[in-house]
Amino acid sequence: MTYTLTTPLYYVNDRAHLGSAYTTLACDAIARYRRLMGDTVVFITGCDEHGQKIQRTAEAAGLSPQAHCDLVSAGYQQLWQNWQISNDRFIRTTDPHHRRIVEQFFSRVEANGDICEGRQQGWYCVACEEFKDDPAEAKQPSCPIHHKPLEWRDEVNLFFRLSAYQQQIEQLIRRPGFIAPESRRREVENFVAQGLRDFSISRVNLPWGVPVPGHEGHTFYVWFDALLGYLTALLSPDETLDLEAVCQRGWPAQLHVIGKDILRFHAVYWPAMLLSAGLPLPERVFGHGFLTREGQKMGKSLGNVLDPQVLLDRCGADAVRWYLLRDIPFGDDGDFQQQRFVDLVNSDLANTIGNLLNRTIAMARRWFDAAVPSPGEGAGTGHPLAVAADEACRDYHAAWQRLDFRAAAEAVLGLAIAANGYLNDQAPWSRMKQDGQREHVACDLYAVLEAARLVAQLLAPLVPQMSDRMLAQLPGASAPWLEQLRWGGLVVGAPLPEPAPVMGRLELEGPL
């Protein structure tokens, strides 16, 4: 099947921060898993580049908005390349073909009677690009997220008739799995229960946006245009740009992964817009939590922002991926703790998994002519490690269905722990000194190597580079991944290369 998934299109008012890296890493892991499962994956990320905030940021930097966007979005693309993110598309909402898709989408919605003119009055946060529902009674209220004064707006805008979709949206959010995790679904349910209000989709006197066709002086509200980037991303700029074609290119998306702050846009406004335009709805919207650092909110004023490029340079992609995916329950808020990060990487990856492979290969090389020993009859599917591997695979796949990276990582780690335990119990180093135990040792080492091979396979979506380094040392037949996950894939008699470390110990001097 085609599996389309998206990160949010990141707003280019600033460079990427750890939060955007977290979302992107998570999506990358999912994309890799789905590809291994045999799906045709369309993994979309990109940048959202319109709106007042961008215009002001560019002006402050003495740049044209376009030059500013070019600079920042190039930074995003470079960053994801450095992290070896496997996105299939990178869409910029300033791409020329995006404008045509926005126009086509709008004319469908307008033809459907869902656009009306109205007066928009209220307090507006430019940083959020959003009217605030009911700011405190203060004379000059401020944004609860940005702690910056809100601006009073009173203008004639075009509105989308969201209120007309009350029932359909209520039904949609009751659909099991549409909004995950469950706590987020309840948030949205409460919001919808208050009654959906029409929302403005245009701005006047804002040149940095897509002009609304047929409504001079209006440009599209940045959110209206940004959400449509998910559709544009599916089309290549040179093909006949027909909105209908998205349905042959991977729409509807199976999954939108977003931060919890933009849930409303994805779980309420977006589906209503799609319903109006007669396009199918995404399968699932997953709102993950926010990251703090050592218990504190990250912010420029606090000087504790973690730069994803610095993190990558100092720690490597796999270490960070492992920590974020294995330690923070996906969906909950998480806290980045440096000591815990170092401890987990060293104990799980360097010790439990890395040493397992290293010492087993070293023994097999020493005693069995540097080749995979023959297990005889003793290492079939009834072997305790084969049973453990079977269980680990089952837990692992079930965890991916729930996007529970932590449980997936724990399943793999559990298998490595079982293999280490088995090795210690059997103590081949003692047996080798006894007469008539050579076959027994061959069988034990085969089973442990085979468990390590499965660990390496299962690590592929989580820590791809480490997985590759492990598999390079374990001779297996080339076959589709699901076949590789069957017990017994290690090739008997194949040469075992000199063991090389698969994950160096992480040593960090001073704070990141």
**HEC string of 293-336?**
ECCECCCCCCCCCCCHHHHHHHHCHHHHHHHHHHHCCECECEEE
436 half-sphere exposure, CB direction, 13 A CA radius = 0
Q: What secondary structure does DSSP assign to 342-371, as a single string? A: HHHIIIIIIIIIIIHHHHHHHHHHHHTTTB
Per-residue tokens: 445 = 């080492």
Contact at 8 Å (CB) between 98 and 134? no
> Which H helix or E strand runs over 108?
helix 96-111
- Give, as ranges, the residues between 370 and 399 that touch Zn ion (CB under 5 A): none
Q: In the set 61, 111, 145, 362, which binds Zn ion (CB under 5 A)?
A: 145
Stretch that binds Zn ion, among 108-116, 145-153, 181-189, 379-387 (CB under 5 A): 145-153
Cβ-based nearer residue to Zn ion, 125 or 328: 125
Least distance (Å) from Zn ion to the CB of residue 127?
Answer: 4
Cβ-based nearer residue to Zn ion, 128 or 411: 128
Distance, in Å, from the CA atom of 397 to the CA atom of 45, rounded to the nearest integer, reads 25
Least distance (Å) from Zn ion to the CB of residue 290?
Answer: 14
Output the CA torsion 302→303→304→310 (10° steps): 160
Binding string, residues 100-139; x marks residues near Zn ion by CB under 5 A: -------------------------x-xx-----------
Cβ-based nearer residue to Zn ion, 135 or 211: 135
Residue 351 CB neighbours (<10 A): 15
Cβ-based nearer residue to Zn ion, 200 or 420: 200
Least distance (Å) from Zn ion to the CB of residue 297?
Answer: 14
Residue (of 462, 402, 42) closest to 254 by Cα position: 42
Cβ-based nearer residue to Zn ion, 143 or 411: 143
Amino acid at 452: A
Cβ-based nearer residue to Zn ion, 262 or 277: 262
Q: Tell me the number of residues near Zn ion by CB under 5 A.
A: 6
Distance, in Å, from the CA atom of 147 to the CA atom of 141, rounded to the nearest integer, reads 9
Least distance (Å) from Zn ion to the CB of residue 256?
Answer: 21
Stretch that binds Zn ion, among 143-151, 188-196, 221-229, 500-508 (CB under 5 A): 143-151
Cβ-based nearer residue to Zn ion, 63 or 127: 127
Least distance (Å) from Zn ion to the CB of residue 125?
Answer: 3
Cβ-based nearer residue to Zn ion, 13 or 457: 13
Amino acid at 207: P
Distance, in Å, from the CA atom of 14 to the CA atom of 46, rounded to the nearest integer, reads 14
- DSSP 8-state symbol, 43: E
Residue (of 19, 510, 110) closest to 299 by Cα position: 19
- The two beta strands, 285-288 and 202-204, are unpaired
Least distance (Å) from Zn ion to the CB of residue 324?
Answer: 26
Least distance (Å) from Zn ion to the CB of residue 146?
Answer: 4
- The two beta strands, 2-11 and 255-259, are parallel
Least distance (Å) from Zn ion to the CB of residue 387?
Answer: 54
Q: In the set 84, 119, 121, 146, which binds Zn ion (CB under 5 A)?
A: 146
Cβ-based nearer residue to Zn ion, 128 or 344: 128
Least distance (Å) from Zn ion to the CB of residue 285?
Answer: 21
Q: In the set 12, 31, 102, 143, which binds Zn ion (CB under 5 A)?
A: 143
Amino acid at 313: D
Q: What are the distances in angstroms from CA 162 to CA 166, 174, 253, 271, 412?
A: 7, 18, 22, 10, 45
Residue 194 CB neighbours (<10 A): 8
Cβ-based nearer residue to Zn ion, 145 or 477: 145
Cβ-based nearer residue to Zn ion, 91 or 128: 128
Least distance (Å) from Zn ion to the CB of residue 143?
Answer: 3
The phi and psi torsions of 131 (rounded to 5 degrees) equal -75, 140
Strand locations in 375-459 (E): none
Stretch that binds Zn ion, among 144-152, 259-267, 298-306, 315-323 (CB under 5 A): 144-152
Cβ-based nearer residue to Zn ion, 132 or 249: 132
186 binds Zn ion (CB under 5 A): no
Q: What secondary structure does DSSP assign to 417-464, as a single string? A: HHHHHHHHHH-HHHHTTSTT-HHHHHHHHHHHHHHHHHHHHHHTTTSH
Per-residue tokens: 51 = 């709106």
Least distance (Å) from Zn ion to the CB of residue 406?
Answer: 31
Least distance (Å) from Zn ion to the CB of residue 147?
Answer: 8
Least distance (Å) from Zn ion to the CB of residue 298?
Answer: 16
What is the distance between the terminal CA atoms of the chain, rounded to a whole angstrom? Answer: 41
3-state class of 118 per DSSP? Answer: strand
Residue 236 CB neighbours (<10 A): 11
Cβ-based nearer residue to Zn ion, 142 or 358: 142
Prior bond of 495 cis (ω within 30°): no
Stretch that binds Zn ion, among 43-51, 52-60, 116-124, 146-154 (CB under 5 A): 146-154
Query: Which residues are near Zn ion by CB under 5 A?
Result: 125, 127-128, 143, 145-146
